[in-house]
Copies of this chain bind each other. A is one copy, B any other.
Amino acid sequence: MDTSRLATVISRHASELRQAERMQPETLKDYRSAALRAVATRAQEASPFYREKLERAGIRPGSIRGLEDLPRLPFLTKEELHGHPWRLLTCERRDVMIIQVSTGTSGGEEIYSAQSRLDLQYHLSAHYPSLLPVTTGDVCLNALPYEMSTAGLAMHREFTENCQATVIAAGKGGAYSTPAKTLKVFRDLRPSIVITSPSWAIALAEEAARQGLSLPSMAPRRMWLTGEGCSPAFRRRVEALWGCAAFFLYGSLEGGMMGVECEARQGYHLTQGHTLLEVVAPDTGEPLPPGSVGELVVTALLRHDSPLLRFRTGDLGVFEEGTCTCGATASRFRVRGRTFEQLQYRGQSVSPIFLEEFLMRMPEVGNWFHFVVPASDTARIKVRCEPATGVRPSRELGSTLASRMEFFTRLPLEIEFVEHLPRTSAKALRVVRE
């Protein structure tokens, strides 16, 4: 029998965790404090890496009492994880059940995620029935990558184990998971739920169009989009093509599933049974007040054998104030994309999602585009894009759209129409440097 401190915390809060998105402030604080204490204590006791790290930060063993001590913990960075697959372990290597690896889009050596049986078992403790309204009888087309990265297998477990639903293990890309094959499976099995990336949702819709197939005529009940930044305007395009509501989901290899949109779609609700989230100043690491944009820092509450303490995600985000109309108590935050993906231009930092939002509002523009950052600050930012179906591209049209977009973005832009941009089953590329 397992008698870890964390197991005790989980069993004490078991009934509240069944609806983790609605925990009351006092219970939540109590749970989080106890879980943080259990996880941080285990990290300090059982991981040489953390022991040394925490000691260097002047934290005496056993001195972490709860939430109030969170700011005392040192940050964990991607650099510390690059190429160190076993670094976070507080268990024996032999206890690891599954090892997965980052997609590598942020560069550097690989980051690995090694999780034990206990990690995976504890993960199943917290539920979000109103944020992830999937249940027995739902058939979920899981069109996220199952190989290497965590996305596909994590949502597979979430839907099958936590929601008790049926999953179609479709995957995304690869020899057996082409858009044509995925669409065939979609037609044959008529899933009620689809989860995929925004760009893959478009690739599937394009395949449907090629086959003369109306997706809205067999619309799923709802869709989740994840794995790539996505603007509301792009989402509306996905929704129009599929004929169903699409919700964003925010997660990563290191932090797991951190945020899920509710019906109100005013930012992500924090998966507060699993996650502590802070917003800090990217340069100083100082905590920022609600309403300030900063780097998201994540601490995992249910990782017993691979503790994640104050991990700097490299993503920019901001907490929203006020309660949500949906009734969930879980705090809300927005993500502004990854630090390294921001366009640096004339001393300004511009989110590609911000540009995308205005680009995607223009019906003359197709669904595939790049932002080409110029080498010099005197040149304009080039938007390379396909025209929408049926639109005849011209220099004049480009100028008109560019000035329309300039009006909203206040950035000097240029639009270049190209016939075809490459499709990929990897993450869609939005920012290129030439």
Binding site for B on A (CB under 8 A): 83, 85, 93-94, 96-101, 103-104, 110, 112, 114, 136-137, 139, 145-149, 152-153, 156, 160, 166-177, 181, 184-185, 188-189, 424-426
Residues in B whose Cβ lies below 8 Å from that of A172: 147, 174-175
What are the 3 A-B residue pairs with the smallest beta carbon separation, nearest first?
A147-B171, A174-B174, A146-B146
Shortest distance between the CB of A298 and any CB in chain B (Å): 22
Beyond A98-B160, A110-B184, A185-B101, is A146–B171 a contact (Cβ under 8 Å)? yes
Are A169 and B185 closer than 8 Å at their CB atoms?
no
Residues in B whose Cβ lies below 8 Å from that of A168: 98-101
Residues in B whose Cβ lies below 8 Å from that of A98: 156, 160, 166-169
**CB pairs A–B below 8 angstroms (15 shown):** A93-B166, A94-B137, A97-B160, A98-B168, A101-B168, A103-B176, A110-B185, A112-B189, A145-B171, A147-B152, A147-B176, A148-B169, A172-B175, A174-B174, A175-B426
Are B169 and A99 closer than 8 Å at their CB atoms?
yes
Are B189 and A99 closer than 8 Å at their CB atoms?
yes
Are A171 and B169 closer than 8 Å at their CB atoms?
no
Shortest distance between the CB of A228 and any CB in chain B (Å): 12
Shortest distance between the CB of A46 and any CB in chain B (Å): 18
Shortest distance between the CB of A275 and any CB in chain B (Å): 22
- Among the listed B100, B110, B174, B188, which residue makes an inter-chain contact with A110, where contact means beta carbons less than 8 Å apart? B188
Are A148 and B170 closer than 8 Å at their CB atoms?
yes
- Among the listed B85, B97, B152, which residue makes an inter-chain contact with A146, where contact means beta carbons less than 8 Å apart? B152
Beyond A100-B169, A169-B148, A188-B85, is A174–B425 a contact (Cβ under 8 Å)? yes
Are A425 and B175 closer than 8 Å at their CB atoms?
yes
Give Cα distance in the complex from A173 to B136, angstroms. 32
Are A148 and B176 closer than 8 Å at their CB atoms?
yes
Are B425 and A145 closer than 8 Å at their CB atoms?
no
Beyond A98-B160, A169-B100, A188-B83, is A181–B146 a contact (Cβ under 8 Å)? no
> What residue of chain B has the Cβ atom nearest to residue A97's Cβ?
B160
Residues in B whose Cβ lies below 8 Å from that of A100: 168-169
Are B426 and A99 closer than 8 Å at their CB atoms?
no
Residues in B whose Cβ lies below 8 Å from that of A97: 160, 166-167
Shortest distance between the CB of A98 and any CB in chain B (Å): 5
Shortest distance between the CB of A142 and any CB in chain B (Å): 9
A-B contact sample (6 more), CB < 8 A, given A146-B147, A173-B175, A174-B175: A98-B166, A98-B167, A103-B176, A146-B146, A147-B176, A148-B181
Give Cα distance in the complex from A110 to B145, angstroms. 21
Are B104 and A181 closer than 8 Å at their CB atoms?
yes
Are A148 and B177 closer than 8 Å at their CB atoms?
yes
Residues in B whose Cβ lies below 8 Å from that of A156: 98
Give Cα distance in the complex from A21 to B70, angstroms. 53
Which of A100, A148, A170 is most buried by chain B, counting CB atoms within 10 A of its CB?
A148
Are B185 and A170 closer than 8 Å at their CB atoms?
no
Which of A145, A146, A153 is most buried by chain B, counting CB atoms within 10 A of its CB?
A146
Shortest distance between the CB of A290 and any CB in chain B (Å): 36
Are B96 and A166 closer than 8 Å at their CB atoms?
yes
Shortest distance between the CB of A91 and any CB in chain B (Å): 11
Residues in B whose Cβ lies below 8 Å from that of A137: 93-94
